[in-house]
Structure 1
Amino acid sequence: MPADLAVLGLAHSGLPLAQAATASGIGTIGYDPDASTIAEIAAGRPPGDAPLTAAEVRRMLARGFRAFSDPAVLGRVRTAVICTPTALGADRALDLAPVLTAARTLAAHLRPRTIVILESSVYPGSTEDVVRAALEEGSGLRAGRDFHLACSPTRLDPGNRRHDYTNTPKVIGGLTPACTEAAAAFYGRLTDKVVRARGPREAETAKLLETNYRQINIALMNEMAVFCHDLGIDLWDVVRCAETKPFGFQSFRPGPGVGGPGVPVDPNYLPYHSRSLGYPLRMVELAQEVNARMPRYVSQRAAALLNEHGKSARGARVLLLGVTYKPDLPSQEGAPAREVATRLKELGAQLSYHDPYVPQWRVAGHPVPRADSLYEAAAAADLTLLLQNHRTYDLQGLAAKAQLLLDTRGASPTGAAHRL
């Protein structure tokens, strides 16, 4: 049946977009080539790490949402949004293959006057150089003349109870002014405010700036955490004081590493891009280096804390609390917990874990035992290591039960635990 919207890619950003559109009364279908993803949604369950609950998926289905693995459905929509995930490869370049594949799939079914929008995180220029080229080549249509093309990077913050699709402004940059207005009219049905960029490159680069800003500031806080620990300074009290400044300061928090789909990107790491500037974004490189060091630092702090209390890391029973990348969500994408666990295992520690959102967990191909009784496990462990602060954790109670508690999130009451 015809639909107003098709969402290509039903992962961490695509499914929430489909949810918002369905809730707004927009006839929405989803497309994903992964048959298991489609089967999970049809059964009323969120696929993989999608940040929705089963109840939310069932509500979408009740409102008419359907997901397909047959791309033929893409020829019956007015608007198509590409939400396929991108990630950094081993060469530190963004892997745009999923975006290119989605664009080619859509091109085979593209009709005139369709609005095509790219939400995936990409390099500046990708909407025109990658998506536009694939759509025009595969469809025989011309962007800006036969169909509208725009970029509107995702700004999803899973689990945020204050900012959702409705009250988070959407940045939109179209290939032409008419493309921008067509995309703005679509998003105007979902959000209270749209922000028009001069073009797709400006919209793409706004996302780049937002992501790198977060990563660089977290890296600064991670460096401050190491600095303050070495000098015997309470970092968390420093942050408490600094964030009272009403101007010129935005508070960030250190942690065991940085996870999630938002990765720091240097746009010069684009092998096929002939317009590379020939020099790196040094701040981004440094942020990557600093944040990538944190799992090792946390494992070293854990070993040192055990040693201070007369215990060796070898043979020590270590309980890891929270192995997801964000509190109160099941996604483990980029979460530092796995590297922390790997390093502790290399030191000879005996690991167990607890996470209310992760029923099974593997590290280096081997299952890690899950603690069924949290307080009993904390009492039995030589060290309890908080990596993610889920709301269900009573840190005051855990601190009272645990032999040693190392809090990497600064979430425990002052004096109740050793903090990063």
Structure 2
Amino acid sequence: MIEQLIQKIEDREYTVGIIGLGYVGLPLLWTFHKEEMPVIGFDIDEMKTEAITSGTPYIKHLGTEMMQVLSESDHCDATTDFSRLAETDAVLICVPTPLDEKRNPDMEYVEKTCTTIGEQLREGQLVVLESTTYPGTTEDLIIPILESQSGLTAGKDFYLAFSPEREDPGNANFNTSQIPKVVGGHTPEGLQLAKALYDVAIVETVPVSDTKTAEAVKITENVFRAVNIALVNELKLIYHKMGIDVHEVLDAADTKPFGFMKFVPGPGLGGHCIPIDPFYLTWKAREYDQNTRFIELAGEINTAMPRYVIDQTIKALNAHKKPVNGSKILVIGLAYKPDVDDMRESPTFPIMDLLKEYGAEISYYDSHIPVIPPSRDHKEWTGTESIIWSKEALKEFDAVIISTNHSDINYKELAECCDCIIDTRNSMKDYATTPGQVWQA
């Protein structure tokens, strides 16, 4: 059977279903589509499926051309009808894996998705989880659900693999097809089939021994980043007290051609991966009576950074003989990183929440997010609109906090209009016009 399925892949007659059409699923759909694979996108959000059908962009950095091509394609479809999973040969799961209020894994989306897949599962299908999760998820959670719902046996009647997403929204140097894909199979046959599928569309596939190892790879990548970002954030606090510019230190250290990798400090962590994924390992490690001290310390440091930004804001306003209470403060950048419209886990939200507690009048500017959409964790800000950028508008604010350094921001104009700027991204280093105008945070 495997040989026949691989032949279907090579003949481009193998239908790929992708569940979850967000920042991971939509680029993946496009990547397989470009290779002439028939694709069906599934999502519970009708807005997304209708947008693909009509060619309407809903993720800004992916552009309009891609959406137009998908809408006109004869081998791409998008639907909220999950009974059509029966039409697919492979089902790739790209749904959220957030944390609950106790910072434990919230697997609700994965569980519901697997239940739905199990109801439609047929012999020979391949199921691949791409969502980041803890080691052991495929074996301990997904297989029991699929088997109980379908009456089929994993590895015998259908195939399973884990291949973690490695998306970096807005990265102009790497898209989905250019990033090597780690793949772990539940059985050798599952690995063989999943590798053959990804080989069609991805520059390189990296096979590992099993699904648990593949799950650990993604966790390790994000733990590495979280810990190193926490390290430079801590260095920022220390060097600030010493009167040393941490950015100058990091730039100079980065000239060493070996033994150093540059990370940059900021106002906290954002995005769906780095602030969340390491705690999946922390949770799983408890099962083995292991402590994750580096991960938990990194989390404490990174989570505390918005409070540091507020402390610097208080000092900056005090230097201008103004209290936070009643001051009009503009926060620049709602997205968690430059030049995207992704606001998941953005540190800007806790910054605005803290400012509100202190009685400040808060506005924000972000050309990528003109209106704050509904979200799970920041409902009170839903519907708030970005200011319209102008010199007149900027002059109305007592202080400006740069939380995200979008490339379309006119920093020179900002310096001309505002005399109290709290800079968390080192964006104003070449634009300050007067002493005490820019405060590093």
- Of stretches 167-176 and 31-40 in structure 1, the one that deviates more from structure 2 is 31-40
The equivalent of 1:61 in structure 2 is 71
The equivalent of 1:170 in structure 2 is 181
The equivalent of 1:227 in structure 2 is 238
The equivalent of 1:410 in structure 2 is 426
> Is the 2:170–2:339 contact (alpha carbons within 8 Å) kept by the matching residues of 1?
yes
Paired with 2:403 and 2:300, the residues of 1 have a C-alpha distance of 20
One-letter amino acid matched to 2:279? D
* Aligned-pair CA distance for 1:79: 1.1
2:430 paired with 1:419: no
Cα separation, partners in 2 of 1:232 and 1:244, compared to 1, 3 Å? same
- Of stretches 27-36 and 321-330 in structure 1, the one that deviates more from structure 2 is 27-36
One-letter amino acid matched to 2:294? M
2:156 paired with 1:145: yes
One-letter amino acid matched to 2:81? D
2:371 paired with 1:355: no
The equivalent of 2:402 in structure 1 is 386
Residues 56-108 of structure 1 show CA distances to partners (whole Å, capped at 9, x for unaligned) of 32222222422111111100111110111111111111111111111111111
Residue in structure 2 matching 1:306, options 292, 309, 317: 317
With the length of structure 1 as denominator, give the TM-score of the two structures.
Answer: 0.94
Residue in structure 1 matching 2:128, options 92, 104, 117: 117
Cα separation, partners in 2 of 1:138 and 1:246, compared to 1, 3 Å? same
2:274 paired with 1:259: no
- Of stretches 140-149 and 287-296 in structure 1, the one that deviates more from structure 2 is 140-149
Paired with 2:177 and 2:339, the residues of 1 have a C-alpha distance of 21
One-letter amino acid matched to 2:439? H
- Of stretches 375-384 and 200-209 in structure 1, the one that deviates more from structure 2 is 375-384
Paired with 1:275 and 1:133, the residues of 2 have a C-alpha distance of 22
The equivalent of 1:332 in structure 2 is 343
Residues 199-251 of structure 1 show CA distances to partners (whole Å, capped at 9, x for unaligned) of 10000000000011111111111111111112211111111111111111111
Paired with 2:286 and 2:214, the residues of 1 have a C-alpha distance of 18
> Is the 2:92–2:130 contact (alpha carbons within 8 Å) kept by the matching residues of 1?
yes
* Aligned-pair CA distance for 1:125: 0.4
Residues 247-301 of structure 1 show CA distances to partners (whole Å, capped at 9, x for unaligned) of 111111111111111024234655xx79811233111111111111111111111
Residue in structure 2 matching 1:7, options 13, 18, 21: 18
> Is the 2:247–2:426 contact (alpha carbons within 8 Å) kept by the matching residues of 1?
yes
Residues 101-149 of structure 1 show CA distances to partners (whole Å, capped at 9, x for unaligned) of 1111111111211121110111100011111111111112211111211
Aligned length: 416
Paired with 2:35 and 2:337, the residues of 1 have a C-alpha distance of 27
> Is the 1:3–1:29 contact (alpha carbons within 8 Å) kept by the matching residues of 2?
no
Query: Where in structure 2 are the equivalents of 1:356-371 lying within 5 Å?
Result: 356-361=367-372, 365-366=380-381, 368=384, 370-371=386-387
Unmatched runs of 5 consecutive residues or more in structure 2: 1-12, 433-437
- Of stretches 364-373 and 221-230 in structure 1, the one that deviates more from structure 2 is 364-373
With the length of structure 2 as denominator, give the TM-score of the two structures.
Answer: 0.89
Paired with 2:286 and 2:389, the residues of 1 have a C-alpha distance of 56
Paired with 2:353 and 2:24, the residues of 1 have a C-alpha distance of 29
* Aligned-pair CA distance for 1:50: 7.9
Paired with 1:208 and 1:187, the residues of 2 have a C-alpha distance of 21
Unmatched runs of 5 consecutive residues or more in structure 1: none
> Is the 2:327–2:361 contact (alpha carbons within 8 Å) kept by the matching residues of 1?
yes
Query: Where in structure 2 are the equivalents of 1:30-109 lying within 5 Å?
Result: 30-47=41-58, 52-64=62-74, 65-109=76-120
Paired with 1:84 and 1:361, the residues of 2 have a C-alpha distance of 22
2:411 paired with 1:377: no
One-letter amino acid matched to 1:387? S
**2:219 aligned counterpart, secondary structure:** helix
Paired with 2:244 and 2:430, the residues of 1 have a C-alpha distance of 13
The equivalent of 2:10 in structure 1 is none
**2:227 aligned counterpart, secondary structure:** helix
2:250 paired with 1:239: yes
RMSD: 2.0
* Aligned-pair CA distance for 1:166: 2.0
One-letter amino acid matched to 1:39? E
> Is the 1:266–1:281 contact (alpha carbons within 8 Å) kept by the matching residues of 2?
no
2:142 paired with 1:131: yes
> Is the 2:267–2:306 contact (alpha carbons within 8 Å) kept by the matching residues of 1?
yes
One-letter amino acid matched to 1:196? P
Paired with 2:291 and 2:220, the residues of 1 have a C-alpha distance of 15
Paired with 2:235 and 2:67, the residues of 1 have a C-alpha distance of 41
Paired with 2:282 and 2:56, the residues of 1 have a C-alpha distance of 37
The equivalent of 1:19 in structure 2 is 30
One-letter amino acid matched to 1:220? L
* Aligned-pair CA distance for 1:40: 3.6
Cα separation, partners in 2 of 1:275 and 1:285, compared to 1, 3 Å? closer
Paired with 2:258 and 2:301, the residues of 1 have a C-alpha distance of 26
**2:89 aligned counterpart, secondary structure:** strand
Cα separation, partners in 2 of 1:130 and 1:189, compared to 1, 3 Å? same
Identity %: 34
**1:10 aligned counterpart, secondary structure:** coil
Structure that is richer in helix per residue: 2
